[in-house]
Amino acid sequence: MNAAPKHIPVLLDEVFHALAITPGAEIVDGTFGAGGYSQRILAGGANVYAFDRDPQALAIGAELAGRSEGALRLYPARFSSMDSSLADDGIDQVDGVVLDIGVSSMQIDEAERGFSFQKDGPLDMRMGDSGETAAEFVNTADEAEIADVIFRYGEERRSRRIARSIVHSRPIETTAELARIIRKAVGHRDGAPKDPATRSFQAIRIHINRELDELKEGLEAAERILKPGGRLVVVSFHSLEDRIVKQFLRNRSGSDAGGSRHMPQIANDGPAPTFLKPGKAIRPSASEIEKNPRARSSTLRSAIRSEAAAWNVSEVAA
């Protein structure tokens, strides 16, 4: 049996502390990955309901679940389905939810998964084993759609130029091919501090996996399933994700209606806040970044569930 890919969980102590684990607590690990958070939570005496759509992660989890004497249950599903999936097993509320958003180290490090331009492999980028691949997207989407995806999810100002080069270079089958096309399109110089393919690869991956929509739906699912006093803990890795988490917690805690010295207070005639005031954002220490450079861009946000009923999203939107 091959050893599991090396993965160092980010902000592990901080996540454990924010969840306030007690023996017998019921915790959802919405992004099981290599199981770093789940193992720490299990060691604290809690029960874990772990979600992942990656078959490789589920295979790793099966071994851990077998040794957990029933304390770990695995769900081969997106974390946005946590409330409905657990309801099928008679579980209506939990004490905590942790989400580690984005691609895992083991996915990046395996060339055949197609997530990284640093290792040549097939253009896949799927976190699961179904749906459109990155190759199918770049080879069939029109130029305007490719440019929109790269601009929106990669915040890449040269998205139109890159999209034009992608369309003119089709068919494209590998990560190395796509990276070369992007670098040539933007006039990349060897030795530049950041590879220009970074933003475009991020954007295509987010699009293929519906990552931002999944995050929004997952936050709403966590709101529904957390019991009063339950903890929501989210670790994100780039500004698009963190912006969604920050705005969700501000919105659901009523912080947006608080006013400031620049803006008058807004009357809150909507639903009661479902979370208490969020804690301060936590960033990794210098020592953690030294040990695990991938922690550099991470941000942890957390909040405690109030007794208010979960918002009816369709009514609020209306």
Beta-carbon contacts of 245 under 8 Å, excluding residues fewer than 6 positions away, are 101, 215, 219, 234, 236, 301
147 and 242 co-located in one domain: no
The proportion of the chain whose per-residue pLDDT surpasses 70, expressed as a percent, equals: 86
Instruction: Give the CATH number for residue 150.
Output: 1.10.150.170
Instruction: Work out the end-to-end distance of the chain between its first and last CA atoms, rounded to an integer number of angstroms.
Output: 53
112 occurs within a structural domain: no
286 occurs within a structural domain: yes
Helix axes 211-225, 239-252, angle to 10 degrees: 30
Do residues 42 and 50 make contact, with C-beta atoms less than 8 angstroms apart? no
The kind and range of the H/E element at 98 are: strand 94-100
82 and 220 co-located in one domain: yes
54 and 175 co-located in one domain: no
Please spell the DSSP secondary structure of 227-254, one letter per residue: EEEEEEEEEE-SHHHHHHHHHHHHHHTT
From 184, 209, 234, the end of a domain falls on: 209
Model pLDDT, residue 246: 97
179 occurs within a structural domain: yes
179 and 191 co-located in one domain: yes
From 186, 209, 232, the end of a domain falls on: 209
Token output for 32: 């099981």
Q: How many CB atoms lie within 10 A of CB 235?
A: 29
Could you tell me the strand order of the sheet in which 47-51 lies? 72-75, 47-51, 26-29, 94-100, 226-236, 299-304
74 and 215 co-located in one domain: yes
Domain count, the chain: 2
Instruction: Give the CATH number for residue 97.
Output: 3.40.50.150
Return the amino acid letter for 102.
G
Give the confidence band of 314 by pLDDT, cuts at 50, 70, 90: low
Q: pLDDT tens for residues 23-34? A: 999 999 999 988
Per-residue pLDDT, averaged over 287-305, amounts to 94
202 and 217 co-located in one domain: no
Q: pLDDT tens for residues 178-208? A: 999 999 999 877 766 688 898 999 999 999 9
Q: What are phi and psi of 174, to 5 degrees?
A: -125, 165
Q: pLDDT tens for residues 81-128? A: 999 999 999 999 999 999 999 665 444 555 455 456 567 889 998 888
Q: Which of 204, 186, 209 is nearest to 141 (CA)?
A: 204
171 occurs within a structural domain: yes
1 occurs within a structural domain: no
Burial of 207 (0-12, 13-18, 19+ CB in 10 A): buried
Angle, CA of 309, 102 and 147, to the nearest 5°: 105
271 occurs within a structural domain: yes
Helix axes 143-154, 159-168, angle to 10 degrees: 140
From 155, 181, 209, the end of a domain falls on: 209
262 and 245 co-located in one domain: yes
154 occurs within a structural domain: yes
Segments forming the whole domain that contains residue 276: 12-106+211-317
82 and 135 co-located in one domain: no
Q: Is the pLDDT of residue 210 over 50?
A: yes
Model pLDDT, residue 114: 46
The kind and range of the H/E element at 216 are: helix 211-225
Q: Is the pLDDT of residue 3 over 80?
A: no
Angle, CA of 50, 55 and 59, to the nearest 5°: 70
221 and 92 co-located in one domain: yes
165 and 308 co-located in one domain: no
Do residues 18 and 302 make contact, with C-beta atoms less than 8 angstroms apart? yes
122 occurs within a structural domain: no
Do residues 75 and 55 make contact, with C-beta atoms less than 8 angstroms apart? no
227 and 200 co-located in one domain: no
**What is the 8-class DSSP label of residue 275?**
B
101 and 159 co-located in one domain: no
